[in-house]
Amino acid sequence: MLAIDGLGFRYPGAPQAALDGVSLQARRGGVLGLLGPNGAGKTTLISHLAGLLPVQRGSVTVDGVPLADSRRANPTRIAVAPQEYAFYPMLTVAENLACFAAAGRLSGDRKRDRIAACTAFAQLERFSKVRAENLSGGLKRRLNLAIALLPEPELVLFDEPTVGVDPQSRAFLLDAIRSLATAGAAVIYTSHYMEEIEAIADRVVIIDHGQVLRDGSLAELLSDGPVVVTVRAEGVDAATLRPFGEVEADGAVLRVRLVPGQSAAAVLAAVEAQGVPIEHAEVGRHTLEHLFMSLTKRSLRDD
Amino acid sequence: MLLALIRKELLALGRDIHGMGALFIMPVIFIVVMSLALKNVYDAPRPASLTYAVDARDTGEQAKAYATTWARSHGAPVPLPADWQERLRAGSLKYVLVLEAGLSDELALPSFPTSSRVRLLTEPGLDGNLFNTLKAELAGAAGELKARAALSETDATPPKAGASMADLVTAERHAGSGPRPTAVQHNVPAWLVFGMFFVIASVGGLFVQERQGGTLARLRSLGVPRSTLLASKALPYIGVNLVQAALMLAVGVWAMPLLGGDALSLRGIHWGALLVAVGAVSLAAVGLALVLACAVRSHAQAFAVGPILNVLMAAVGGIMVPTFVMPAVMQKLAAWSPMNWALEALLTVLLRGGDVAATLPHVGRLVAFAALMWLLAVVLFRKSSR
């Protein structure tokens, strides 16, 4: 549905481009996880999709139609659920929904139906008359979600939608967002929580310094890395495991990234050969977080 | 869409107690307090009510006649206390007339005096108008006694008892068919202007919140045109300005008499001119409010810049201190203040009974200022909403 091809953007006076040849696609029925450290270019990309920045270089099309033309014809096909609580705290839940429904050009029965549907979807019925400023963090996130869905967009972009919510609200939000994709919408989901991306995304794009570093299905990205054997055993000599691959020791826990040709069974056999009892063992691929950190490096991002 | 956004704006304002207080309660309080405090500002000074004493160092007939004449129009003096200078300094005695030796001779001479024979000593804090009035009255009383003395030396018919040179002059404030000038008549337009311009604090607060909270970006991403967003800000506050005008006029007409002040008189005013003036003031105030709202970057700026600018404009523009008491330089500065144009436009209608044509010089400036502000607001809004 959404195709971004070679998108480049430089803010006036900035020494380097915020986006430098970004290409990605978001399909109906799927969730695209968008990962990147602070300053990677995510916000600039989101601002383009929200129609707040013009395309300087490259192209952004929606079903083959340039984004600007698509937005002109129907500005609510793409919705952005921003990271901020982008609603009016002094208004009630119902008043906020009515305001944004009208801003999205809904009227009459359609407006009433969509407000009712989105209120139910976000399970906000009991809070309709509560001022938004008095809602808990989780309820505020749900109101943010409900507002984004009012015009029934075909593509929804969620910018860190679970920041500051409890595990229950997070689970609810993830289920709700996943159900949107299941119902046929295209979803782009940005988050710093890797486990959320792993739980919800079909495809993952990792960007940094305005460039796409990886783009693929979650399975493809995770299969990129080596097999990791994690062993918990007191008193194992880590040096004896180095022939099997890179060893990372954390107290009694050893993590071995196997080099090609080595197997998990050989690592476990080597530990047992030392006469040390194995308390716990785990074999798997490296996680998305490992991949993300190895691609974007560990240096702090202050911007 | 526009109606929903206007409704949002009004709901937000209605739930902002401080904003409502600044827009409606504060100007009302100013009108009441200032009108009561300045209740007598348009009345002639009343020197007759002041406590005074006479230090008669001349006991001649003419000096006695002078003191008697003065007592007739200013009440009997208190006996001269021994510590009259201390009491004068403390203010418990308002003034002392020192009738110097030689006064009687001077009053009897048919010529202009060449030296001072009457000294007026007042307490340090006596109002300047009263001071000048007393001085003029003393000179007038002396002149009249001299005239009587001179007349008695001729064959002319003696003046009738009670006749006075004061009968030669009558004085009144001319306002055509308009209302009688009172403190209320001046303070209602003054503080109405102040209150109307206070929208610059209210508009900015919510606008900053919308920008910082991402609401503005969300509305833009929903395809709400910038013109609609600006209109949704401006129209409610033009409405607020009209409600303010109605409220302040109502307070002047009905509340002030109940509180012991004069009633605002709308008899004989040109209603069309009042509407034109209020409309022009509102356009200017809301235009300035939009510019500030687009220019400020934080709540701290919005809550500080707006009120400070408002108070400064009020001080310069003749709201807090009438321009006629300002020195020439400040009067010239005031003539450049939009608040002064607004005040003069309303005073033209409410104090001088002016019609639409009479308000046009001030209304024209206000409309030109409003046009400039609205244009600037559009430019700044385009920049800030990107």
The residue whose two tokens read 């007598």 is B40
Question: Are B53 and B162 within one domain?
Answer: yes
Q: Domain-by-domain residue ranges, chain A?
A: 2-222, 226-285
Question: Are B226 and B135 within one domain?
Answer: no
Closest Cβ–Cβ partner in B1, B11, B16 for A105: B1
Q: Is residue B336 in a domain?
A: yes
Closest residue in chain B to residue A83, using alpha carbons only? B214
Predicted pLDDT of residue B176: 60
Give the β-pairing of A155-159 and A78-81: parallel
The residue whose two tokens read 């009997």 is B76
Question: Are B154 and B191 within one domain?
Answer: no
> Which of B211, B222, B384 to probe by mutation at the A interface, max A CB count within 10 Å?
B222
User: Which residue, B140, B168, B196, sits at the end of a domain?
Assistant: B168
Chain B nearest C-alpha distance from A49 (Å): 9
Tell me the C-alpha distance between A268 and B180, whole Å: 105
Look up the CATH number of the domain holding residue B144.
3.40.1710
> Residue B311: is its pLDDT beyond 60?
yes
Amino acid at site A292: F
Question: Are B59 and B109 within one domain?
Answer: yes
Question: Mean pLDDT throughout A13-19?
Answer: 91
- Find the range with the poorest average confidence among A212-226, B66-80, B235-249: A212-226
Chain B nearest C-alpha distance from A212 (Å): 25
Which tokens sit at A131? 């001022």
Q: Is the dihedral of CA B67, B73, B76, B81 positive or negative?
A: negative
Question: Are B14 and B102 within one domain?
Answer: no
The model's confidence at residue A149, banded by pLDDT at 50, 70 and 90, is very high
Q: Is residue B363 in a domain?
A: yes
List, for residues B99-157, the tens digit of each pLDDT value: 999 999 999 888 899 899 999 999 998 888 889 999 999 999 999 999 888 888 887 78
Q: Is residue B271 in a domain?
A: yes
Question: Mean pLDDT throughout B183-205?
Answer: 87
Question: Comparing C-alpha atoms, which of A216, A225, A210 is closest to residue A286?
Answer: A225
Q: Is residue B121 in a domain?
A: yes
DSSP 3-state of B216: helix
**Torsion-angle region of residue A164: left (phi > 0), alpha (psi -120 to 50) or beta?**
left
Question: Mean pLDDT throughout B189-209?
Answer: 89
Tell me the C-alpha distance between A40 and A246, whole Å: 29
Question: Mean pLDDT throughout B204-229?
Answer: 90
Question: Mean pLDDT throughout A124-135?
Answer: 96
Helices B183-197 and B199-213, interaxial angle, to 10°?
10
Tell me the C-alpha distance between A287 and A195, whole Å: 9
The model's confidence at residue A65, banded by pLDDT at 50, 70 and 90, is very high
Predicted pLDDT of residue B301: 86
Domain encompassing residue B185: 2-41+179-384
Return the percentage of chain A with pLDDT > 70, whole number: 97
Question: Are B64 and B153 within one domain?
Answer: yes
Closest residue in chain B to residue A87, using alpha carbons only? B215
Question: Are B148 and B261 within one domain?
Answer: no
A85:B16 CB<8 A: no
Closest Cβ–Cβ partner in A75, A87, A151 for B215: A87
> Where do the DSSP E strands lie in chain B?
52-56, 95-99, 118-122
The ipTM, to two decimals, is 0.82
User: Which residue, B168, B194, B227, sits at the end of a domain?
Assistant: B168
Predicted pLDDT of residue B171: 83
Considering only residues B47 and A214, tell me which one the structure prediction assigns the higher pLDDT. Answer: A214
Question: Mean pLDDT throughout A90-107?
Answer: 96
A84:B214 CB<8 A: yes
Return the percentage of chain B with pLDDT > 70, whole number: 96
Question: Are B73 and B37 within one domain?
Answer: no
Chain B residues closer than 8 Å to A103 by CB: 1, 4-5, 219, 222, 224
CB contact A51 to B (< 8 Å): yes
List, for residues A227-247, the tens digit of each pLDDT value: 889 999 888 888 889 999 988
Q: Is residue B174 in a domain?
A: no
User: Which residue, B168, B189, B214, sits at the end of a domain?
Assistant: B168
CB contact A153 to B (< 8 Å): no
DSSP 3-state of A117: helix
Closest Cβ–Cβ partner in A47, A88, A147 for B12: A88
Predicted pLDDT of residue A152: 94
Closest Cβ–Cβ partner in B5, B16, B222 for A75: B222
Closest Cβ–Cβ partner in B3, B11, B212 for A95: B11
The model's confidence at residue A302, banded by pLDDT at 50, 70 and 90, is low
Predicted pLDDT of residue A87: 96
Please, what CATH class does the domain formed by A2-222 belong to?
alpha beta
Chain A nearest C-alpha distance from B230 (Å): 14
The model's confidence at residue A301, banded by pLDDT at 50, 70 and 90, is low
Give the β-pairing of A186-190 and A31-35: parallel
> Residue A295: is its pLDDT beyond 90?
no
The residue whose two tokens read 């006649």 is B65
Chain B nearest C-alpha distance from A102 (Å): 5
The model's confidence at residue B42, banded by pLDDT at 50, 70 and 90, is low
Predicted pLDDT of residue A225: 73
Q: Cα separations (Å) of A225 from A34, A198, A206, A286, A289?
A: 19, 15, 15, 6, 12
> Residue A85: is its pLDDT beyond 70?
yes
Predicted pLDDT of residue B276: 97
Chain B residues closer than 8 Å to A53 by CB: 386
Question: Are B204 and B239 within one domain?
Answer: yes
> Which of A99, A147, A188 to probe by mutation at the B interface, max B CB count within 10 Å?
A99
Return the percentage of chain A with pLDDT > 90, whole number: 57
Question: Are B232 and B371 within one domain?
Answer: yes
Q: Is residue B239 in a domain?
A: yes
Tell me the C-alpha distance between A301 and B243, whole Å: 52
CB contact A95 to B (< 8 Å): yes
Which tokens sit at B357? 């044509």
Chain B nearest C-alpha distance from A96 (Å): 8
B220:A50 CB<8 A: yes
Which residues make beta-bridge pairs with A33? A189, A204
> Residue A67: is its pLDDT beyond 90?
yes
The model's confidence at residue B267, banded by pLDDT at 50, 70 and 90, is confident
Q: Is residue B173 in a domain?
A: no
pTM: predicted TM-score of the whole model, two decimal places:
0.78
DSSP 3-state of B119: strand
Predicted pLDDT of residue B240: 95
Chain A residues closer than 8 Å to B386 by CB: 52-53
List, for residues B316-373, the tens digit of each pLDDT value: 988 887 787 788 899 899 889 999 999 999 999 988 888 999 999 999 999 999 999 9
Predicted pLDDT of residue B111: 87
Predicted pLDDT of residue B378: 93
List, for residues B287-309, the tens digit of each pLDDT value: 999 999 999 888 888 888 888 99
Instruction: For chain A, count helices (H), then strands (E).
Output: 10, 14
Which tokens sit at B351? 């104090």
> Residue B258: is its pLDDT beyond 80?
yes
Tell me the C-alpha distance between B353 and B356, whole Å: 10
DSSP 3-state of A191: coil
> Residue B178: is its pLDDT beyond 60?
no
Chain B nearest C-alpha distance from A100 (Å): 7
How many interface pairs between A and B have CB atoms less than 8 angstroms apart? Answer: 81
Question: Are B141 and B269 within one domain?
Answer: no
CA B349 to chain centre: 15
Chain B residues closer than 8 Å to A87 by CB: 213, 215, 218
A54, A67 contact by CB (below 8 A): no
Question: Mean pLDDT throughout B209-234?
Answer: 91
Task: For residue B342, give every residue at least 6 positions away whose Cβ sits within 8 Å of its Cβ, in sequence order, or none.
Answer: B193, B196, B197, B277, B280, B281, B284, B285, B317, B362, B366
Predicted pLDDT of residue A218: 83
Q: Cα separations (Å) of A252 from A99, A237, A264?
A: 58, 10, 18
Q: Is the dihedral of CA A50, A56, A58, A61 positive or negative?
A: positive
Predicted pLDDT of residue B38: 79
The residue whose two tokens read 């949704």 is B232
Predicted pLDDT of residue A193: 85
Q: How many domains does chain B have?
A: 2
Question: Mean pLDDT throughout A142-153?
Answer: 94
B215:A91 CB<8 A: no
Q: Is residue B364 in a domain?
A: yes
Question: Comparing C-alpha atoms, which of B217, B317, B86 is closest to residue A49?
Answer: B217
B180, B200 contact by CB (below 8 A): no
Predicted pLDDT of residue B105: 93
pLDDT, averaged across chain B: 89
Question: Are B330 and B190 within one domain?
Answer: yes
Rg (C-alpha) for chain B, rounded Å, is: 29
> Which of A52, A55, A110 to probe by mutation at the B interface, max B CB count within 10 Å?
A52
A185, A154 contact by CB (below 8 A): yes
CATH of domain A226-285: 3.30.70
